[in-house]
């Protein structure tokens, strides 16, 4: 019997149309179910409906069966103790003020002995690498660090067996984590599933890290179930053709770019068996030796400097460690720069320094040759878009403080460009999906015609189609003379979007290189295509380039 099953599940918020329509899927004990689909397709709403104590208010029809009974009959204690949930926004999740208290909160409320709690927290902090954060206040952490703490608090199942949830619900849990932290979390989730038999349901836009490990995949489109595939991936080797079949079904959908590069390559080349990982894909290239090279455009930076930073120092407390420690950096006008680095290395702090939110203790910053205070035309999108959206509707937020003569026409143009409907713009910002929120906040910045855009993880919460749309918007902005600096952990998005990349480490700029050179040489902060093609197809860093080179090169060799 399945642990969880939905039958003809539909849901509508008060006064609105159906957000979910006739959803039917199941999850067996110990399975990992991946839910994907475009932004606003109902993934978060579906996930919240599966946990009664946070289920949204509205009209629900159909059935949700948990452990053999209707989920509405589940009492609060069982819901809290057996169903774990991590949402998209780490700022909204914390219930205590320190990391130690956050990790102890649920075990304490479940009545575990103090000695057991402390021993398990010691193991938990060591496993997640949280020892250096254990006494820190949560308000002092970066967004990625906050997310990691929440993940650790919910993933207690592996280290606190007597408080193990039967079902883990995770909504884009790795969106704000650096690659290493994301890999650690995915590994512990796989251990929870295999060793404790916990059922895991994850909503993700980026399926690359989980595609080969999940047992079932549910794809949503505009609130409807496009397909639900059972046991489609990799076990055992003779069933691998199912993976190609599933990859082929996702080709042409909004989820295509989120497929692992090796599966996209397998489907694009029509291979009978998939290239199950980067090593297999490399072996395929070595055996077939495609002769074509990627078509790339050489980066030629503008001579005019948009942002000049010289030897700046900054700390959040008087005697605390320097988050920025002698950082020097120059950003050319008309360029798009991606800023990489592990969680807590000062990436968001750098953007706040440039925008004038914080002032450095030492050093100088010039924006288009002027001081930060006297320079106008800088706009910043923070990690949490709610911070710049305060009105009752998104439309009122966008119009606020804007004195364009043809504001209605500009709103119509940007709405079409960003894929935001009039119905979406009429909502309160807390009623929007993460992707809708990101796009609306960006629209609020763009309508004021800035010269410098500072974006903190702008791709967070966006499906692959909207990432492509964002790439086009930022490129057109730069072609018009604007300058973009964005913080990201998404190397695939940066490869498609940026001209150059900055690596933050130890409070300084450890590297500043053209994006192709940066990704071609990187080990951790790089793309799957770059790992596959390294030393075989020079300068190939995106899946599109890899597929194109193979198609052109292999065809030419065959002829």
48's enclosing H/E stretch is helix 43-49
- CA gyration radius for the chain? 24
What's the pLDDT at 267? 79
Residue 474's contacts (CB-CB under 8 Å, 6 or more residues apart) are 336, 453, 484, 486, 497
Cα gap 213→202, rounded to integer Å: 12
Write down the domain spans for the chain: 4-233, 305-529
Question: What are the DSSP calls for 136-149, one per residue?
Answer: SBGGGS-HHHHHHH
Task: Strands of 376-493 (E only): list them.
Answer: 378-381, 452-456, 483-487
Cα gap 464→255, rounded to integer Å: 6
Half-sphere exposure of 8 (CA within 13 A, CB side): 2
Q: Do domains 4-233 and 305-529 have the same CATH topology?
A: yes
Dihedral sign for Cα 425, 429, 431, 434, please.
positive
Q: Helix, strand, coil: what percent of the chain each, to 5? A: 40, 20, 35
What's the pLDDT at 7? 92
Which CATH code fits 305-529? Answer: 3.40.50.300
Residue 529: φ, ψ to 5°: -60, -40
Tokens 């691998």 -> residue? 240
Per-residue tens of pLDDT for the chain, all 559 residues: 688 999 999 999 887 778 899 999 998 888 899 898 877 788 889 999 999 888 888 899 999 999 888 888 888 777 777 888 888 777 777 788 899 988 888 778 777 788 888 887 887 788 777 888 898 888 888 766 787 788 788 765 444 454 456 888 988 887 777 777 777 778 877 877 887 788 999 988 777 777 777 888 888 888 888 888 764 444 333 343 444 455 556 666 666 766 788 888 887 888 877 787 888 899 999 988 888 888 877 778 888 999 999 999 999 887 778 899 999 999 999 999 999 998 888 899 999 999 989 999 999 999 998 888 777 789 999 988 888 888 888 889 888 877 777 888 888 998 888 888 888 888 888 878 778 889 999 999 999 899 999 999 998 878 788 888 999 999 999 999 999 999 998 899 999 999 999 999 988 999 999 999 999 888 888 998 999 999 899 889 998 899 989 988 775 444 4
What's the pLDDT at 239? 40
Q: List the one residue out of 294, 344, 283 whose CA is nearest residue 136.
A: 344
SS3 at position 406: coil
Q: List the one residue out of 384, 378, 398 whose CA is nearest residue 438.
A: 384
Cα gap 311→297, rounded to integer Å: 32
- Token pair listed for 116: 């057991």
Instruction: Give the distance between the most distant pair of CA atoms in the chain.
Output: 72
Q: Which CATH number fits domain 4-233: 1.10.10.10, 3.10.100.10, 3.30.300.30, 3.40.50.300?
A: 3.40.50.300
Cα gap 419→439, rounded to integer Å: 8
Question: What are the DSSP calls for 299-352, one per residue?
Answer: ----SSEEEEEEEEEE-SSTTSPPSEEEEEEEEETT-EEEEE--TTSSHHHHHH
Q: Is 51 left (phi over 0), alpha (psi -120 to 50) or beta?
A: beta
Cα gap 297→306, rounded to integer Å: 22
What's the pLDDT at 217? 84
């Amino acid at each position: 019997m399945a642990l969880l099953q939905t039958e003809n599940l539909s849901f509508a918020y008060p006064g609105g149309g159906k957000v979910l329509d006739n959803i039917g899927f199941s999850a067996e004990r110990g399975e990992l179910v991946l839910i994907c689909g475009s932004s606003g397709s109902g993934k978060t709403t579906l996930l919240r409906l599966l946990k009664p104590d946070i289920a949204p208010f509205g009209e629900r029809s159909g059935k949700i069966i948990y452990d053999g009974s209707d989920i509405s009959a589940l009492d609060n204690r069982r819901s809290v103790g057996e169903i774990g949930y991590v949402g998209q926004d780490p700022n909204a999740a914390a219930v205590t003020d320190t990391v130690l208290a956050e990790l102890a909160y649920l075990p304490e409320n479940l009545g575990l002995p103090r000695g057991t709690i402390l021993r398990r927290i010691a193991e938990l902090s060591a496993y997640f690498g949280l020892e250096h954060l254990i006494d820190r206040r949560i308000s002092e952490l970066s967004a990625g660090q906050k997310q990691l703490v929440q993940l650790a608090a919910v993933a207690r199942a592996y280290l606190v067996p007597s408080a193990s949830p039967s079902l883990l619900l995770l909504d884009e849990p790795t969106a704000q984590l650096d690659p290493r932290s994301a890999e650690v979390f995915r590994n512990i989730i796989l251990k929870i599933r295999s060793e404790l038999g916990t059922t895991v349901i994850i909503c993700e836009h980026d399926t690359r890290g989980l595609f080969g490990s999940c047992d079932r995949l549910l794809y949503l489109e505009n609130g409807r179930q496009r397909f639900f595939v059972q046991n489609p991936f990799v076990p055992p080797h003779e069933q691998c053709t199912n993976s190609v079949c599933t990859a082929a079904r996702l080709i042409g959908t909004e989820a295509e770019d989120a497929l692992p590069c090796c599966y996209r390559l397998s489907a694009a080349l029509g291979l009978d068996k998939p290239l199950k990982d980067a090593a297999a894909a490399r072996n395929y290239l070595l055996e077939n030796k495609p002769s074509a090279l990627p078509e790339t455009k050489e980066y030629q930076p503008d001579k005019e400097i948009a942002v000049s930073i010289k030897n700046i120092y900054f700390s959040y407390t008087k005697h605390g460690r320097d988050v920025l420690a002698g950082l020097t950096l120059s950003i050319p006008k008309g360029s798009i720069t991606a800023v990489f680095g592990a969680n807590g290395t000062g990436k968001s702090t750098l953007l706040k320094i440039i925008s004038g939110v914080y002032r450095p203790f030492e050093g100088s910053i010039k924006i288009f040759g002027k001081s930060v205070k006297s320079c106008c035309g800088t706009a910043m999108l923070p990690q949490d878009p709610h911070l710049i959206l305060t009105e009752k509707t998104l439309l009122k937020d966008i119009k606020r403080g804007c004195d364009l003569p043809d504001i209605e026409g500009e709103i119509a143009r940007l709405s079409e460009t960003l894929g935001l409907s009039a119905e979406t713009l009429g909502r309160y910002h807390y009623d929007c999906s993460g992707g809708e929120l990101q796009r609306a906040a960006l629209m609020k910045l763009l309508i004021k015609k800035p010269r410098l855009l500072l974006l903190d993880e702008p791709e967070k919460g966006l499906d692959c189609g909207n990432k492509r749309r964002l790439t086009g918007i930022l490129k057109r902005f730069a072609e018009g003379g604007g300058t973009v600096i964005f913080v990201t952990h998404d190397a695939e998005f940066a490869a498609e979007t940026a001209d150059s990349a900055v690596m933050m480490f130890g409070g300084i700029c450890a590297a500043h290189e053209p994006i192709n050179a940066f990704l071609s040489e990187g080990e951790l902060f790089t793309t799957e295509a770059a790992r596959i093609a390294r030393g075989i197809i020079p300068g190939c860093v995106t899946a599109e380039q890899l597929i194109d080179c193979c198609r052109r090169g292999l065809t030419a060799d065959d002829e």
